[in-house]
Amino acid sequence: MRVAVWYNNQDVRVEERPVPRIGPGEMLVRIVASGICGSDVMEWYRLDRAPLVLGHEIAGEVVEIGEGVKASKVGDRVAVAHHVPCNTCHYCLSGNPTVCDTLRRTNFDPGGFAEYVRLPPINVNRGVFTLPDDVSYEEATFVEPLACVLRGQRRAHLQPGQSVLVIGSGISGLLHVQLAHALGAGLITAVDVNDYRLAAAKKLGADTVFQAAELSPEKLRDVNGGYLSDLVIVCTGAVSAVKQALASVERGGTVLFFAPTGPGVTFPLSINDVFWRNDVSLTTSYAGSPADYTAALKLIQARRLPVTEMITHHLSLAETGLGFGLVAGAGESLKVIIEPQR
């Protein structure tokens, strides 16, 4: 089979590998669509492990099942989780499955930018989600990123009517805008340095948008009834965005750090100015649980989020390198989907 092997963002090679052989409890999935995630192009995070077959936002068709698999059958259309929790450890039993050690070790063989992937038994057991007939493969590539966004907004305790500021309007930021809109948030403001992405944010649910350099606390209060934002979601790792978030959150509000910074970045905080009298909460969110995947799929099926409007490119496996360049360049592209069967 063909696989797209990532050496770095400028060097993605299509190579030949054997189709994985499955064993008891395992599954072979023919990949129809696989989205490129912003995390796929974070070279600092992956370069020391290259070469890699990346791709975790996948949807495809079950073509082979191993002995003992009961919940799925050949021909099923599925979305699949690459990271799944054990459900029995201290973290899982404490309601924090995304910090489970098992979740951080589980993965596909070899990765979503391939014609086929093998799912280990634990992924088959708790990471396969059958697609309804009215959910397309391309829509299903949003199940994983939307699951992450769902968990993030749940951790931030977003309530209907609360104002939301999203800093960074890439795919994760746009999903946060759409989900906040679907959940009945109050004023939704989006910020970015890219006018193309700001136009997308406005189209997808943001009430107002700002170039990052133009947003100030005063301007935010002007559009938000005299207040700063109840929830600020940071979807970029830029240090300037962290500063902007802390200056933009209302008393009693929350800042959700959804994107990582670069390696080694630290940030000094004044306990008195940020926390003590203002009751501001800071939180983070990583990944999504199987329950979040299920909820994300239901939201997509119900058309509560117009995810297909974010798709700007459909590329073949041979064009995966082009796709990585588009995502890393963050220009006039949003969601780039690789179609390995083309």
- Per DSSP, the residues of 8-77 read ETTEEEEEE-PPPPP-TT-EEEEEEEEEPPGGGG-HHHHGGG-SB----EEEEEEEEE-TT--S--TT-E
Residue 37's CB is within 10 A of a number of other CB atoms, namely 22
Task: Note down pLDDT in tens along the chain; length 342 residues.
Answer: 999 999 999 999 999 999 999 999 999 999 999 999 999 999 999 999 999 999 999 999 999 999 999 999 999 999 999 999 999 999 999 999 999 999 999 999 999 999 999 999 999 999 999 999 999 999 999 999 999 999 999 999 999 999 999 999 999 999 999 999 999 999 999 999 999 999 999 999 999 999 999 999 999 999 999 999 999 999 999 999 999 999 999 999 999 999 999 999 998 888 888 888 899 999 999 999 999 999 999 999 999 999 999 999 999 999 999 999 999 999 999 999 999 999
Query: What pLDDT is stored for residue 239 in this prediction?
Result: 93
Task: Specify whether 81 is located in the same domain as 25.
Answer: yes
Task: Specify whether 229 is located in the same domain as 329.
Answer: no
**Rounded Cα–Cα distance for residues 327 and 38 (Å):** 7
**Rounded Cα–Cα distance for residues 257 and 298 (Å):** 25
Task: Specify whether 84 is located in the same domain as 170.
Answer: no
Query: What pLDDT is stored for residue 274 in this prediction?
Result: 80
SS3 of residue 241 by DSSP? helix
Is 251 within a domain?
Answer: yes
Q: Which amino acid is at 70?
A: K
Query: Do 55 and 338 contact (CB within 8 A), yes or no?
Result: yes
Angstrom CA distances, 51 to 3, 7, 121, 301, stand at 12, 5, 25, 36
**Rounded Cα–Cα distance for residues 66 and 64 (Å):** 7
Rg (CA), the chain: 20
Task: Specify whether 206 is located in the same domain as 322.
Answer: no
Helices 143-155 and 171-182 pack at an angle, to 10 degrees, of 60
Query: What pLDDT is stored for residue 276 in this prediction?
Result: 85
Q: CA 311, 312, 317, 318: dihedral to nearest 10 degrees?
A: 180
Query: Do 177 and 258 contact (CB within 8 A), yes or no?
Result: no
Task: Specify whether 179 is located in the same domain as 261.
Answer: yes
Is 245 within a domain?
Answer: yes
In the sheet that holds 229-234, the strands lie side by side as 208-211, 188-192, 164-167, 229-234, 249-257, 281-284
Is 21 within a domain?
Answer: yes
Task: Specify whether 204 is located in the same domain as 251.
Answer: yes
Is 152 within a domain?
Answer: no
Task: Specify whether 140 is located in the same domain as 186.
Answer: no
- Max Cα–Cα distance, the chain, nearest Å: 63
Nearest to 204 by CA among 169, 236, 232, 229: 169
Whether omega for the bond prior to residue 51 falls within 30 degrees of 0, making it cis, is yes
Strand runs labelled E in 176-270: 188-192, 208-211, 229-234, 249-257
- Write out the residue range of the structural domain in which residue 227 sits: 157-284
Please report where in the chains the tokens 């990585």 appear, as a residue: 324
Task: Specify whether 130 is located in the same domain as 182.
Answer: no
Nearest to 171 by CA among 136, 208, 135, 146: 146
Query: What pLDDT is stored for residue 270 in this prediction?
Result: 85
Task: Specify whether 11 is located in the same domain as 123.
Answer: yes
Task: Specify whether 90 is located in the same domain as 183.
Answer: no
Query: What pLDDT is stored for residue 104 in this prediction?
Result: 95
For strands 116-119 and 128-130, give the pairing. Answer: unpaired
Is 8 within a domain?
Answer: yes
**Rounded Cα–Cα distance for residues 124 and 255 (Å):** 35
